[in-house]
Amino acid sequence: MIQGRDVVTLETFSPEELRFVLDRAKDMKRDGHGTPLQGRALAMVFFNPSLRTRASFAIAFSSLGGTVVDLTAERDIWNLELREGAVMAGVAEEHAKDAARVLSEYADAIAIRSLARHDDWATERRDLVLVSFQKHASVPLFNMESVLEHPCQAWGDALTLEEEFGDLRGKKLALTWVYSPNARPLAVPHAVGIMAAKMGMQLTICHPEGYELDHGALDVVHRTAAETGGTVRVTNDLTEATTGAHAVYAASWGSTNLHGRPDEERHLRSRHTERRITADLMARTQSGRFLHSMPIRRNVEADDAVIDASSSLVIRQAGNRLHIQRALFAEVLA
Ligand code: CP
């Protein structure tokens, strides 16, 4: 059903395809998975740090019998040029198009992590590293978190939520901005929003003014919800957003308007240090289920009592990355 596909954005997968992979992941988690990827190889390139994605991608692929090459940009590979037609007289020794084409000779799939740098949002949202690899690779490309999206995170989160609630249609998910001293990527809230809409959930997006999601991602969320029977509500009020929710998904993300202007962004952010998930807030929800993609700043984004509660799903979320990625690898490379 998804053989040979790129896993770059959830937008390109239908609810039926999402369902297919979720069911496959559940089967593999319950019954085991064999080694269908013997003789196959995955090349991972990280332009940014990672704990969960690096470990779960490598372990998922190798546990299916495959071989993994793990490359860190600016340490293991040459500086890459992204501009088409560039005169490469600067620091970049290699063009991304050549890196993508060469890795396609060695590997059956390429996986990229590439987050925003320090440009304005109009530039960043073009997701140039990912797009360049997607354009020039001749094997399937996996997005391990880019500027705009983190599809495998949200796919694993859907698995975690289904394990708790079964059918997600009509379930209330509060996707809430929480304070962190640093502007974190928008990829997780975008992907979680799109996933919730694809699953027909009642989604509430909550953030302070100035922290609106990317307009393109938000359009996809609204359009998708209209197709699936889901709903989308945006509010600034954290108490209102969490009251009655089946689950609270906390994330801290940067201001798109102030992207590339870190001093102004920090100033705006510093006005919202009180936005933290507490046990009192969770007591207002229907079930106390708490999600976060991690890494999480304890007692800044959420209290220890919330993260360590028996109803917290954060560790299972991280664990389910392994199962969803095994299912994706097995089906994309079938
Ligand atoms: N959630 C997640 O992607 O974690 P890492 O950044 O550690 O990979």
Domain assignment present for 179: yes
Q: Are 323 and 28 in contact (CB under 8 A)?
A: yes
177 and 234 belong to one structural domain: yes
327 and 307 belong to one structural domain: no
The pLDDT, as a whole number, for residue 119 is 87
Domain assignment present for 2: no
Q: Which atom of ligand 1 is nearest to the CA of 294?
A: 1
At 196, list the tokens.
């919730």
Domain assignment present for 5: no
111 and 17 belong to one structural domain: yes
Domain assignment present for 1: no
188 and 290 belong to one structural domain: yes
Residue 236: pLDDT band by 50, 70, 90 thresholds? very high
Q: Determine if ligand 1 sits within 6 Å of the CB of residue 9.
A: no
Q: Determine if ligand 1 sits within 6 Å of the CB of residue 132.
A: no
213 and 143 belong to one structural domain: no
Which residue has the least CA distance to atom 3 on ligand 1?
Answer: 53
Q: Which atom of ligand 1 is nearest to the CA of 54?
A: 8
Whether the predicted pLDDT of 74 surpasses 90: no
Which residue has the least CA distance to atom 1 on ligand 1?
Answer: 293
The CA distance from 39 to 305, in Å, is: 46
Q: Which atom of ligand 1 is nearest to the CA of 56?
A: 8
186 and 215 belong to one structural domain: yes
172 and 121 belong to one structural domain: no
**Residues contacting 196, CB < 8 A, separation 6+:** 168, 173, 175, 203, 221, 230
Q: Please compute the mean of the pLDDT values over residues 237-259 and round it to a whole number.
A: 97
Q: Are 34 and 10 in contact (CB under 8 A)?
A: no
128 and 165 belong to one structural domain: no
CATH code (residue 168): 3.40.50.1370
Domain assignment present for 63: yes
Residue 29: pLDDT band by 50, 70, 90 thresholds? very high
Of 247, 249, 117, 234, the closest CA to residue 178 belongs to 249
At 95, list the tokens.
């063009």
220 and 101 belong to one structural domain: no
The pLDDT, as a whole number, for residue 108 is 98
The CA distance from 113 to 130, in Å, is: 8
CA of 62 to the centre of ligand 1 (A): 19
123 and 172 belong to one structural domain: no
CA of 194 to the centre of ligand 1 (A): 18
pLDDT tens digit string along 195-228? 999 999 999 999 999 999 999 999 999 999 999 9
The pLDDT, as a whole number, for residue 118 is 82
Q: Please compute the mean of the pLDDT values over residues 231-257 and round it to a whole number.
A: 97
Q: Determine if ligand 1 sits within 6 Å of the CB of residue 50.
A: yes
Domain region containing 134: 10-149+321-332
| Domain tally, the chain | 2
Mean pLDDT of the chain: 97
The pLDDT, as a whole number, for residue 286 is 94
CA of 53 to the centre of ligand 1 (A): 5
pTM recorded for the entire structure = 0.96
Residue 154: pLDDT band by 50, 70, 90 thresholds? very high
Domain assignment present for 104: yes
Q: Please compute the mean of the pLDDT values over residues 30-39 and round it to a whole number.
A: 95
Domain assignment present for 3: no
Q: What is the DSSP string of 167-224?
A: S-TT-EEEEEE---SSPPPSHHHHHHHHHHHHTT-EEEEE--TT-PPPHHHHHHHHHH
71 and 191 belong to one structural domain: no
Q: Please compute the mean of the pLDDT values over residues 153-158 and round it to a whole number.
A: 98
Residue 284: pLDDT band by 50, 70, 90 thresholds? very high
Domain assignment present for 265: yes
The residue whose two tokens read 């997006």 is 205
290 and 186 belong to one structural domain: yes
